[in-house]
Structure 1
Amino acid sequence: MKITTLIENLKNDSQDLINESGLSLYIELDNKRILFDTGKTGSFITNAQKLEIHLEHVDAVVLSHGHHDHGGGLLPFFKVNSRAKVYMKRKAAGDYYFHILGFN
């Protein structure tokens, strides 16, 4: 298994990659290509190009949950790859908000 981070919130100065709040991982396993989350925007696509990862060959997209910083790049991804299946649990698209210590 090979996992490559396409987008996250930390800046890596050794590579000229975009960072943003959110997450996107590219996973290769047994000749399958999986995109786990798509970050907040389509910036993960630019990073994939810089890393010479061909998103047009992705077989499946898995969305961990419905927050915009994990699925916000889904529509830009479809411009690159319109054949990949998308997987997410039914409740992932529900209404969610941040709540801690009585503050909304």
Structure 2
Amino acid sequence: MAKTFLSSDVKIDGQLKSNGDIEIDGEVKGQIQAKAIKVLNSGKVHGTLTCDTLTVDGEVSGTVGANDLSISSTGIVLADVQYATLTTAKGAKLQGQIKVK
């Protein structure tokens, strides 16, 4: 399955759906649905994210539904989150309503 990459100069307002992986280094406002989503260091997402695996090195706000959520030391998640497994690095920021699936 191909990987979709949104570079730092890309701004999207809308809906993204993929059966594969999405890497975000730009800004997205809206809904994202994919097998795996990775928000890179300069990436910012505001909206609803639904995926099997979410890795956050940048910023996420809104609503998150992920089986596996990983937040790096530079990651910021300000969202209502539902997950099965959670991994956070020292320095990671997580704020919101948290529910285990």
TM-score range, shorter chain: 0.3 to 0.5
Structure with more relative contact order (C-alpha pairs < 8 Å, separation 6 or more): 1
More strand by share: 2
> Which is higher, the Rg of structure 1 or of structure 2?
1
> Normalising by structure 1, what TM-score?
0.36
